[in-house]
Each structure stands twice: as structure tokens, then as C-alpha cells.
Structure 1
């Protein structure tokens, strides 16, 4: 019977799952993913999470709780840095410790550290440590690692081609969500292009964000996300910023936002943040300061928490789209 490793459907699951899944499966290890976020799952997590935690951590607690009793190991890597010169949010770094202090009946936790800030080429070392936990040979670990990199490359390539992340990720998921309509035309007959920026766990958890992508599409918008912007374009933009952005995902959000704003390829930009997130508040200020110089681009900031209501979100999105369409009609006249 195969060993089961549990991966929470939260935090960097949306970025790294194809890599993790391929690596474990190649070693003969079964991967079990927590259920999709629901009201019940979130409520369970709230029983254990510290009050000061941001929404994303609260959701992650619920996903960990969902895996307890279903798996032999919990995979909660300690993500310090995933690229040169940057860090991941401090709450990610301490997440395994927060989980251990909150739950009593945990299976063994794999909390291998990933710190590539100084040597990005060292990714194989932590992967080797993980493989050795299961007594796998160096050769089999190396082969699994190479296969995981190949699958990750396919995943990233799909994103760069303009596929939304849920569609790109569906090839690796057991029960992927229904495909989204990414090419609907606006009611005015011209396609509205809306940049939706934020951390991936806010953009793609459809319960947390009340299915905002589908709502924007139903209002006639084509949604563009940071994953669709090339890393080179993002780096060029972030290099221009006088303030250093130390968070990997923060750099991507700001760099992609700046690129899309400057390119003139969007009609509006929606920044989706979560309540209690320190980096989000800093990133929001950078984006607002930039977009002020481009009055032709509409801007909307949305803050998510566990009390967010669908009616309020729909009202704000409808007003946002209506504003853009009125502006476009005025230009045409």
C-alpha cells in the first residue's frame, strides 16, 4: 500500500502543486490534496488559528485540518526564499510551527526548508532530503526531481500562453473546476481587458474570492493575471522601483501590474488583497501611485476576509465595469 502524503490546497499549492505531485508520484508516493475550500472547512480552521492571522493563513489551517486522519505525512515545507534576493512572507516561514502548536493529532510533518536566496541552483538539496525521508535512492530522487522540473516547465509554459491558472493546473488535479470562459465579449461589442492582480491563493480560491474571475467574465471582461506576464518583463519593471520589494510574490504582483499599466493593454486593474496581510498594504500603495499617472485606466481595490459578501462584490464589480464602458463610449464619441 502506497504511502500517502497530504498537501493542503492553500498558499503556494496554486504555484507548486505540479512540481510536488510529480516528484512524489515518481517516487511511488500517493499525493492526497485537501478538499476545495468551503464554509465548513474555513470554519473548522478558525477554531485553531491565531486571531491576528491573515485570511490566507486561516484558510490554510482549515485545509490542514481536512487532511488529518487521511494521510501518513503532512507536507508543509518551510518556504523561506524561492529565488535569489527575495523572501516569502514570514507567515509562510513559520507556518509549520503554527500548525504544530495548534493541533495535537498530527501525522509526521515534512517541513524541509527551502532557502534559495543566495544560491537558487540549490533546489535539489532540499528535494534530496525529502526523498531520503522515504529511504529512496539518490538515483531515484534525482530522476523524480528531473521529471518534476519538466512538468513544472509545462505548467509555466501553459500560463505564459495566456491560460488562466485553474485551466493550466487542471492537467494535474484529480477534480479540476469547470473551465472558465476567458474570451467573452463585453456588452458594448468591444473586449474589455481587466488585470486581476494579487497573491495566487487569493486569485484562484473561488470560495474565498466569491468566484471573482467568473463574475468579471460574465460582465464581459477578459481577465489577465500576473502569471501571463513573462518573468523578464516583470524583472525589468521591478528593477525601476526605488523601494526594494523583498517578497517573491510581491515583486511579481507589482512588476506585472506596472507592465500591464504601461503597455496600455488593459482597461482596468483590480487588486485583490486579504485582510490582515502586511505585504498587500505595501503593494497596494505602489500600484496606486503608479496608476495615478494613467487616468484612462480604472482601478479597484478589494479586500477579502471571512465575512465578505457576494452582493457587495457584485455591486462593486458592476459599477467598475460600467465606469470603464462609459469612458470607452465617451472616447468613441
Structure 2
């Protein structure tokens, strides 16, 4: 069976796992095209107006797959961490797609929740395998293999600082490190913490190639995906209350840990217009930075109307501030 995976939303978190899992069961994995103007246009035309940009983009990716696959994998996700939730849009996504997109192939939409069940991911994978006609034993073997390789991939990513930038099937998301040899001793000019949901910061089209542009300025990019989970958890404990949104917790935990423990020159927070969790997390983060730290902070709010010229102007102004702080002799230290 040809199983389509939309190149959007939690694709940037779990694609390596699902690729190995489905292929181990004898199925072919087909990715939608990288986000482009047509995909965004199709998504905008098929989605309700008040949906956020990532959901609109997801609709476009599903449409891109319609005539090329036998089924589209759209899990009904409730929770990916014990005692935590993710945005409700993931729970209702299969229903939104069915009601908004015509001519769909079969949708695989098993529920996934780890809120009260630590084995929820395994049970979810087994249910998916059985829906595809595989036995429980076959699905369990595929799950164990995929889990082992996926965990190794995550450890490699953190150890080597490899960002999960979308390179399709090349080697999951491993990319060649940028050439910083033009800088003295091959070192980075700045350490910049880029925060946001993975589908906002790693989608080259949606983010207007933010990471590449910062790298071209000589910035070493740090994101939650290359920070050890124990460090994120340590940072999140500094919040007055436990944040029950997993992605928001990762953003704030990363920021709080790095601001207190590592040399940091600036922070960029990327959010989607109309995203409730983003608006709260962004407010908490900006207040913390302005109150307790002397760090340049850039907030980028993305939607389908965002223009690249204005985006580039704000980014260049942010880098100018980093440059002046780096060269100035009377700066306040950027380490906290």
C-alpha cells in the first residue's frame, strides 16, 4: 500500500519513526511536496477562515497527495507526553480534512494519547498496523525497530547539533553543517536561540528560510529539538505552574534553561497568527526576557499575508543589534 504522509505539522517530529514503521510492514511511504505557493493556495481555499496557518498548510499537503497514494496518515493526536496535551487542532484534524477536502483516499486516523498511558504510542502503532492488514506481532516488531532507530536518531541529532530541517528522504533530516570558515578561526559570530513549533521554524517556505538566513549571518542556531530533554525539563521547572501544552513547555523550558546556563546572544520566537497557545507562551517569554535578562529579542508572527521584504528588514535589524553588542566595549554581558 502507498501511504501518504503530509509534510506538515508533526511531520517534523515523527517522520523518521513512521517511515521505518510503515516500510517494515511492507508499505511504501510517499511524502507530499515541500511547501510551495500552490500548496499554500490550495490549503487556504479548502480551510475555514479562522484556522491557523499550520492547519491551512496541512490541508494543502493532503490535497497534494490525493492522486498519488492509497491512504493518507492523519493520526488523531491528543497527547504525546504523560500528563500533557497538545493543541486541540490535532485531535480534530482528521474530521476537518474529511469535511473540507473532496476526493480523498482512505484516511488512517487512529487515536494517540500518552496522557495517562505510557505505552500509548506502542498501542497506537499496533492499531495502525492492524488497520493496514498486518498482524499484532508484525506491528509490534515494526514498532520496536522504528522506536530503536528513532531514539538513536534523536540522540545523534542532539549530540551533533543537527537541526531537523526538511531534506525529505535523504537521511531523515540530517543536513550538512553550514560553512563558517569565513569567520575567524571558523567560529560562530552569535549564538541564537530560535524558538517556535517545529512546523513553523523548519518549514522553509512558511518561515521564509529563517534558519538559513540567520546561518548566513554567522549565527549558530539552537532550537528545542537539539537540546537534551533533561535540560528542557529543568528549565520548565522554573515556571510558577506546570504548563500542560507539550510544545509550549518545550519552548519555555529551552529558553529558561539557556538564558541561565549558556552563552546566548539573542532569541527569536516564531509564532503563528491566531494561535492561542503561541500568544500565551510568547507573552510569558517576552516578559521574562525584558524583566530579567539583557538579550535582544525578536518576535515573528507568521500568516499567509506575511511579506518577505518586511521580514528581512526586521531580521537584519535584529542582527545589527547583535553586531553592535558584540563590538561594543560597554555592553552588558549577553550571558544572563
What's the TM-score bracket when you normalise by the shorter of the two chains?
over 0.9
> 1:302 & 1:32 partners in 2: Cα distance?
32
Residue by residue, what CA displacement relative to the aligned partner does 1:114-164 show, whole Å, maximum 9, x if unpaired?
011011223211111111112212221111001110121122112212111
What do residues 85-118 of structure 1 show as CA deviations (whole Å, max 9, x unaligned)? 1111011111000001112311111110001101
**For structure 2, which runs of at least 5 residues remain unmatched after alignment?**
332-336
1:163 is aligned to 2:162: yes
Looking at structure 2, the residues matched to 313 and 288 of structure 1 have their Cα atoms a distance apart, in angstroms, of 19
Please name the residue that 2:313 is paired with.
315
Once residues 123 and 59 of structure 1 are traced to their aligned partners in structure 2, the CA distance between those partners, rounded to angstroms, is 26
Q: Distance in 2 between matches of 1:40 and 1:284?
A: 30
Q: Which string of whole-angstrom CA distances, capped at 9 and with x for unpartnered residues, describes residues 29-56 of structure 1?
A: 0011100000111101111100000010
Instruction: Return 222-231 or 10-19, whichever deviates more.
Output: 222-231
Question: What is the DSSP-based 3-state SS (H/G/I as helix, E as strand, rest coil) of the residue aligned with 1:109?
Answer: strand
TM-score, length of structure 1 as denominator length: 0.93
Equivalent of residue 178 in structure 2, options 173, 178, 181: 181
Aligned match for 1:259, one of 257, 260, 270: 257
Note the residue ranges of structure 1 that are not aligned, 5 or more in a row: none
After TM superposition, give the deviation of residue 216 of structure 1 in Å. Answer: 0.5
SS of corresponding position for 2:119: helix
Corresponding residue of 1:39:
37
User: What is the RMSD computed on CA atoms of the aligned residues?
Assistant: 2.1
Structure 2 CA distance for partners of 1:117 and 1:177, relative to 1, 3 Å: closer
Q: Is the 8 A contact 1:237 1:255 kept in 2?
A: yes
Q: Distance in 2 between matches of 1:131 and 1:264?
A: 43
| Alignment match, 2:276 | 278
**Alignment TM-score, normalising by the size of structure 2:** 0.92
Q: Give the corresponding residue for 1:112.
A: 110
Deviations 1:280-327 (CA, angstroms, capped at 9, x unpaired): 101101111221244431101000111212211111111111112112
For 1:102-251, list aligned pairs within 5 A.
Answer: 102-161=100-159, 162-166=161-165, 171-173=170-172, 179=176, 181=178, 183=180, 191-251=189-249
1:94 is aligned, of 92, 95, 103, to: 92
Q: 3-state DSSP class of the match of 1:47?
A: helix
Q: How many corresponding residue pairs? A: 329
